[in-house]
Structure 1
Amino acid sequence: MTPEAPRDILLHDVEVGGVRTDVAVRRGRIVAVQPGLVAGSADVNVVDGEGGALIPGLHDHHLHLLAAAAALSSVDLTGAGEAWPTRIQQAAPDASGWVRVVGHHDPGLDGLDRWMLDRVRDDVPVRVQHRGGALWSLNSKALRLLPPPTTAGEHIGVERDDTGKRTGRVWRRDDLIRKAGGSALPDLTSLQDRLRALGVTGVTDASPDLDPDALVHVSTSLSTGRSQLRLLLLSGKVPPGLGDWARVGPRKIVLNDHEMPDAQALRDAVTASHEEGRAVALHCVLRTSLVLALWALTSAGSMSKDRIEHGSVVPPELADWIADLGVRVVTQPVLMRDRGDDYLDTVDPHDRDHLYPYARLLARGVKIAPSSDAPYGDLDPWAAMRAGRDRLSANGRRIGADEGIPVRLMLRGFLSRPEDPGGFPRRVAVSEPADLCLLRAPLDEALAQCSADVVRATWVGGR
C-alpha cells in the first residue's frame, strides 16, 4: 500500500516556545513559523489551535511492537492473584487456536511448567508469558507443536529437566512458537492508533532478532495506513529493501541476569558490530549484567551511539563508568510505579537506593531517555513522566534514593531524536519534518496536568 500524499496544513494560534503563533506545513515539512499566516488555497487543512502548545511528536525509545500488539488481545493475569487459573480456563482460543496469556508474575508460580499448566487447561495449546517478556511457559499440547530437536541437539532456549524431558519453559524463542502455529503476526493498526492518541509519532522497536517476515510486516504497517509512525530498528539482522521509512539503529544484545553470556564472546560480539559501523544496545537489568556490559564496552572500545537498555540498578560507581565511556541509557521510569513494591521486597538490599537513578545519571552528564518497554511496561509516556517525577510504587513507597525528575525535563527525553536518545530535543522549526503533537492547553498547563488527555492531535510527516 502506498501512503497518500500529506496535505498542506496551517495551524493557527498555537503556542511554540512559549509564544502564540501560526505554523505552516507543506509536503510533510514545516515551512513557516510566524503570526498572521494565511492559507494559500482551499486545499490547505486549517486547524485552529486555540492557544494549545504545538510540540514535536514524542518518540518511544524502547518497545516491542509485535508483542505489544499481540498483548491487546491476550488474557492478562495482572492483578489476578489466586484467580489466575480461572482466567485461563474461561479464555477463548485466538484465531490460531491457542490461548495466549501475559502478565504472569506470582512468585509462587515462577517455576510454572507444562505439568502445572496441564492441570489448569489441556484441551488447547496454552502459552503463558512472564511479565518480564523473556520466559514462556507452555502446556503439553503447545509443547508438542514446537519443532523437534535438531540433529545437533535441543534448540537454544528450550529447557529440559534432569531426566531430559522438556519442561515447557522456553526462553526468548518467539520464533519457535511462531513456527508451531501459535503466533501469527498481529495486526498493528490498533496499537498504532493508541500510540498516536498518546502523542507518539515514532518508536524504536527493541526486539533483538526479528525474522525477515516480521521485519517486513512491521515496516509496512508503520509506513502505510492512517496511523503511520517513524521507526528505528534494533534487530540484529535487518535485510535491505525495507524502504526509507525504517531506519536501522544499534544492534540489540541481550544479557540475561539468570544466564549470563560468556564475557569474551560478548566482547567479540560488540567488537564485530562496531567493525560493521553499528553501535550496540546492551540489555542490562541488574548490577551484574551492567558490570559485564560495561567491561565489554571498555574492552572493545565504545561508540558514541552505544546504549544501555533498562539500567534498573545503577550504583554511583557504575554511573561514573557509564559517563566515562560516553554511552547513553534508555530506561523505563513507569516500572517504578508498576513493579516498585516487588523491587523493594526482592532486590538485594545493597541495591535498593540505586533503582532507576535518572537524576544521578543526568548529573554525571549521561544522555538518558525514558521509554515504555511495552507491553512489559505502560505504553503511556505521560504515565512515565509522572512516575519519574513522583518515584512512588503503587502502594506509595518511595523508590530508591534518587531525586524525582521534573516532567519538563523528562519530556525532553521523549522529544530527543530516535538515533540520539537523551540528546537535544527536536524543535518545531522551519525545515523540520512535520511530526507534530498538538496539545489542548499551553505547555505549562499541559505539563502540570501530565495526562494523555492533553493530546488533541498528531501528525507524522504531515499525515
Structure 2
Amino acid sequence: MRPLILRNVEVAGRGGLDVRLADGRIAGIGERLSGPGETFDGRGGALIPGLIDHHIHLLATAAQARSVRLDAVRDADEFDATLRQALDARPPGGWLRATGYHGRMAGDLDRDVLDRIAPRHRLRVQDQTGALWILNSLALDEVTAQGAPPEAERDAGGRLTGRIWRGDAWLRERLAAEPPELAPLGRTLAAFGITGVTDTSATTDAQAAALLADARRSGALPQRLTLMSAGELATPADGIFDVGPVKVLLDDARLPEFDDFLARIAGARTQGRAVAVHCVTAGELALTLAAFEVAGAQAGDRIEHGGVIPGEAIPSLKQLGLTVVTQPAFVFERGDRYLADVEAAEQVDLYRCASLLAAGVPVAASSDAPYAACDPWLGMRAAIQRRTRTGRPIGLKEGVDPRRALELYLGDRSAPGGPVRRIELGAAADLCLLCVPLAEALAEPAAEQIRATIIDGAPVFAAD
C-alpha cells in the first residue's frame, strides 16, 4: 500500500485540511502536509468514515442480477405479464427466479397458480420476506426427485403445494447452481461509500463462507466482512472475515418451543458468540425478550429489523442492553403497503428509531438487501423524512436529524449502534470522500455526492 495524501478536505466541519494515509491507517491530519506518496485533490469535500451496512445478504443480493424483480408490480395482471415476458426470453425447460413477491399482487401463490403462467419452464418465486419460495410443478419435480424436505408444505391430501418455508440452504444444494458473481456487488457497495458489511444470513455454512472469503481475498468484494450463521463458524487463519453473532430466525406462524430457543442461546454462548434474533412482528419480539430475560443478554446481542416494537417493549430493550439493527428504507419502499395492511394504532410501532435512541437503546441502520435497496443514502433520507414512496407519512415522531441518520451507519461492525467512528490519527483508513461539505450533503442525502471510497488506505471507487 503506497502512502496517499488527500488534500483540501473537510474534517469534522473544518475545511482546507490534508489527511495522510499510510499502512492502512490515518497517519496525519493538518494543513499542507508533506511526505511521500500520491495525492488526491478533495476539492473541499467532506471526509467521513466509510459506511457500514450492518445487515445484508451478500450472495442473495448478488444473485438478484439474474432474477426478475417484482417489487414494483401492482396487481395480478402485471404480475402475470412480468413473468411471461421474462419466460419468453428463455428456452423451454429453463429456470426463472423471481423475487420481491407480496400477496397484495396476486394473492396466495402455489404450484397450480405458477403452472398456469409457466407450463413449460421451471419457475420459483420468492416472497418479499425471504422466508418463502413458491415453485411450479416442473421446478418442484426436479428439486424433490430425491425427496422433499420438512420445510415443504403439503395440502390436506399430502400433495406438495410448491411452497417451501426457510428452504434456502436445501434449495441451494438441490439446484447446484453456479455461485453468483460478487464483483459487481462489491463495486456497487463501494460506489455507495460502504467500506464494511455484516452478512446476517442464517444459511451461511463453510461453503458459503469460503465463497465470500475468496471474494475478499481476490478484491472482488473489497469491503471488510463479518459473517453470521445459525451453526458453528470459524474465522480463517488469515482473518479475512470476522465471525459475528449466531443468527436465530423466528417466524410468527411457527415459533420455536421456549426451551429450544433457550438452547440456541446457550449454544451461541458456548461458541463465545452473541445472538442476533430476527424479529419483525410484536409476537417474535415478545418471545425474544422473554428468552433473554431467562437466559441473560450480553454485549453484542441484537434485535434484527425491529419491524414492530410496541412502546411497552422499549424499557425491556434498554434494560437488557440489546441493540436494534433496523432498516429505515422499508418505510419508503414498503410504507404504502404498511399503511394499507397495518392497523392505524400500530403504525407508530413500525421501524422505530427516535424513540429507541431517546430511551438509550443502541440503534444501527442497514439495508437487508436484497429485500430492500442497498443504498444507505436512501436509508438516511427515510430515517429523516419518514415518508412512503408516494409521500405519505409514517410515524413522523420517529424521524431523526440528518447527522444522527448518518451516524446510524458509522458504528463499528463489532458494535453497531455503539461509538461512532471518527477521522482521527491511527484510525483505520476506511473512508468516504464527498463532493461537498457535510452540511450540504446531509441537506439532501444522495449517493451521487460520493467522490471516492477508500478501504485500507487504497481507493476502491472514484467517481471521476
Q: Match of 1:231?
A: 225
TM-score, length basis structure 1: 0.94
Q: 1:173 to 1:93 in 2, by over 3 A?
A: farther
From 8, 21, 27, the counterpart of 1:25: 21
- Matches of 2:107 and 2:208 in 1, distance apart? 29
Specify the SS of the correspondent of 1:394: coil
Maintained 8 Å contact 2:265/2:275? yes
Aligned-pair distance for 1:146? Answer: 1.4
- Matches of 1:7 and 1:129 in 2, distance apart? 45
Q: Deviations over 1:300-354 (max 9, x none)?
A: 0001110000001112110111001011000001100111121122124442221
Q: Match of 1:102?
A: 99
Alignment of 1:15-414 (within 5 A): 15-20=10-15, 21-40=17-36, 44-81=37-74, 82-91=77-86, 92-93=89-90, 97-107=94-104, 109-148=106-145, 154-181=148-175, 183-225=177-219, 228-236=222-230, 237-241=232-236, 243-400=238-395, 402-414=397-409
Q: 1:143 to 1:314 in 2, by over 3 A?
A: same
TM-score, length basis structure 2: 0.93
Aligned-pair distance for 1:245? Answer: 2.0
Q: 1:277 to 1:435 in 2, by over 3 A?
A: same
Maintained 8 Å contact 1:149/1:155? no
- Matches of 1:267 and 1:298 in 2, distance apart? 10
- Matches of 2:217 and 2:195 in 1, distance apart? 12
Maintained 8 Å contact 1:53/1:438? yes
Maintained 8 Å contact 1:280/1:306? yes
Q: Which residue identity is paired with 1:202?
A: G
Q: Which residue identity is paired with 2:104?
A: P
Maintained 8 Å contact 2:328/2:379? yes
Maintained 8 Å contact 2:101/2:127? yes
- Matches of 2:24 and 2:220 in 1, distance apart? 15
Q: Match of 2:461?
A: none
Specify the SS of the correspondent of 1:249: strand
Aligned-pair distance for 1:405? Answer: 0.6
Q: Match of 1:11?
A: 6
Aligned-pair distance for 1:211? Answer: 2.6
Structure 1: which 5+ residue stretches go unaligned?
Answer: 1-5
Specify the SS of the correspondent of 1:61: strand
Specify the SS of the correspondent of 1:313: coil
Maintained 8 Å contact 1:160/1:166? yes
- Matches of 2:233 and 2:337 in 1, distance apart? 36
Say which is worse superposed, 19-28 or 76-85, in terms of deviation: 76-85
Aligned-pair distance for 1:227? Answer: 5.1
Q: Deviations over 1:91-130 (max 9, x none)?
A: 2459x94111112114253421111111101222111111
- Matches of 1:156 and 1:62 in 2, distance apart? 28
Maintained 8 Å contact 1:254/1:282? yes
Maintained 8 Å contact 2:235/2:243? no
Aligned-pair distance for 1:182? Answer: 6.2
Q: Which residue identity is paired with 1:355?
A: L
Q: 1:67 to 1:110 in 2, by over 3 A?
A: farther
Maintained 8 Å contact 1:413/1:423? no
Maintained 8 Å contact 1:147/1:176? no
- Matches of 1:227 and 1:249 in 2, distance apart? 18
Specify the SS of the correspondent of 1:438: strand
Structure with the higher fraction of residues in strand conformation: 2
Maintained 8 Å contact 1:354/1:402? no
Q: Which residue identity is paired with 1:397?
A: R
Q: Which residue identity is paired with 2:201?
A: S
Q: 1:240 to 1:451 in 2, by over 3 A?
A: closer
Q: 1:226 to 1:129 in 2, by over 3 A?
A: closer
Aligned-pair distance for 1:226? Answer: 5.7
Aligned-pair distance for 1:180? Answer: 2.6
Aligned-pair distance for 1:428? Answer: 1.4
Specify the SS of the correspondent of 2:175: coil
- Matches of 1:93 and 1:265 in 2, distance apart? 45
Maintained 8 Å contact 1:223/1:229? no
Say which is worse superposed, 361-370 or 261-270, in terms of deviation: 261-270
- Matches of 2:402 and 2:90 in 1, distance apart? 42
Q: Deviations over 1:248-286 (max 9, x none)?
A: 111110111222111221122112212332110000001
- Matches of 1:243 and 1:122 in 2, distance apart? 49
- CA RMSD, Structure 1 to Structure 2 (Å): 1.8
Aligned-pair distance for 1:388? Answer: 0.8
- Matches of 2:174 and 2:142 in 1, distance apart? 5
Q: Which residue identity is paired with 1:192?
A: G
Specify the SS of the correspondent of 1:86: helix
Say which is worse superposed, 335-344 or 105-114, in terms of deviation: 105-114
